[in-house]
Amino acid sequence: MKYIPKGHEPATFSDWKAQANENWKPTWNTLRGSEKSGVHQALLQEQGYICCYCGMRIDLNTSHIEHFKPRKHFPELALDYKNFLSSCPGEGQDNAEGILRNPDPNQLETPILGEHCGHQKASWYNPDLTVSPQTPNCADYFRYTGLGEILPTDDLALHSAAQETIRQLRLNHPKLEASRRSALQGIVAILSDSSISSVELQKLADAYEQTDSEGKYVRFCGAVSYLLRQYSA
Ligand SMILES: [Zn+2]
């Protein structure tokens, strides 16, 4: 999980909410069109085009707007930009099977029944156990194996929340774990090259924590930089 510093909400979204009057109130279900896509685009930019929970590559077509504190329990935050994140659908980018399994054809806002991340999380939220990507040290809760598994840190103060977040969001879903493993393959090869120094590994880890010229992170960059730092220590 990578820390997401929240920016300001788009002006188009603020202006839309400001149109509220006694006959019309802005609601989540009436947010659509350019106002909604503007919010979605702003979220993608501040996240560097990776899923807020798993780090998979996402774009406008392969993600949804996620309420970190679920609307079911926090209706007052339904239009709070600080409560918005962008999550992958839970089955990868090209999985038609996920779309076909959608049980509710009227639920156009969330067309895919995901098996991990935002759709899996659904209305789960526990203030003590849900690790937030908006917490600056959120990456410290997790560790990774070279085989693509995500595990809770050994730090006892963070362990329970990490364990429960991994379980509730199914961050070790077999398809997700396989994607993470494939992203780590090149790194594992680098780590087995004994001619690379610790300093070089640290520089490489630093590079993976930066976005490219298009403002995008490499997919699963958190897992990649974690492994590099482990071997550079
Ligand atoms: Zn995800």
Q: Are 204 and 190 in contact (CB under 8 A)?
A: yes
Q: CB-based burial of residue 21 (10 Å sphere; 0-12 exposed, 13-18 middle, 19+ buried)? A: exposed
Average pLDDT for runs of 10 along the chain of length 233:
96 98 97 97 98 97 96 98 96 44 44 78 97 98 97 97 98 94 91 89 95 97 95 83
Rounding to the nearest 10 degrees, give the CA dihedral for residues 207, 212, 215, 216: -80
Query: Ligand 1: distance of its center to the CA of 5 in Å?
Result: 18
- Based on its alpha-carbon atoms, the radius of gyration of the chain, rounded to whole angstroms, reads 19
Q: 176 C-alpha vs ligand 1 centroid, how far in Å?
A: 8
Q: So what's the pLDDT on residue 208? A: 95
Strands 150-152 and 142-144 turn out to be antiparallel
From ligand 1's centre to the CA of 24, what distance in Å? 35
Q: What distance in angstroms lies between residue 32's CA and the mean position of ligand 1's atoms?
A: 23
In this structure, are strands 64-67 and 142-144 parallel, antiparallel, or unpaired? unpaired
Rounded to the nearest angstrom, the distance between the alpha carbon of 52 and the centre of ligand 1 is 6
Dist. CA 207 → ligand 1 center (Å): 22
Closest CA to 40 of 73, 71, 76, 81: 81
Query: How far does residue 188's CA lie from ligand 1's centre (Å)?
Result: 22
Q: Ligand 1 centroid vs 211 CA: distance in angstroms?
A: 18
Using alpha carbons, select from 94, 93, 75, 92 the residue that is nearest to residue 83. 75
Q: What is the pTM of this model?
A: 0.89
b/e for 30-56, b at 16 or more Cβ within 10 A?
ebeeebbebbbebbbebbbbbbbbbbb
Q: Which two tokens stand for residue 162?
A: 């990490």
CA of residue 28 to ligand 1 center, whole Å: 22
Distance from Cα 51 to the centre of ligand 1, integer Å = 5
How is residue 116 written in tokens?
A: 């991990």
Distance from residue 59's CA to the centre of ligand 1 (Å): 12
CA 87–ligand 1 middle distance (angstroms): 5
Half-sphere exposure of 209 (CA within 13 A, CB side): 16
Q: State the Cα–Cα distance between residues 112 and 121, nearest whole angstrom.
A: 13
Please tell me the distance between residue 181's alpha carbon and the centre of ligand 1 in angstroms: 15
CA separation, residue 6 to residues 9, 56, 110 (Å) = 9, 19, 23
Distance 90 CA to ligand 1 centre (A): 6
Ligand 1 center–CA 92 separation, angstroms: 8
Ligand 1 centre to CA of 116 (Å) is 7
How high is the pLDDT of residue 112? 47
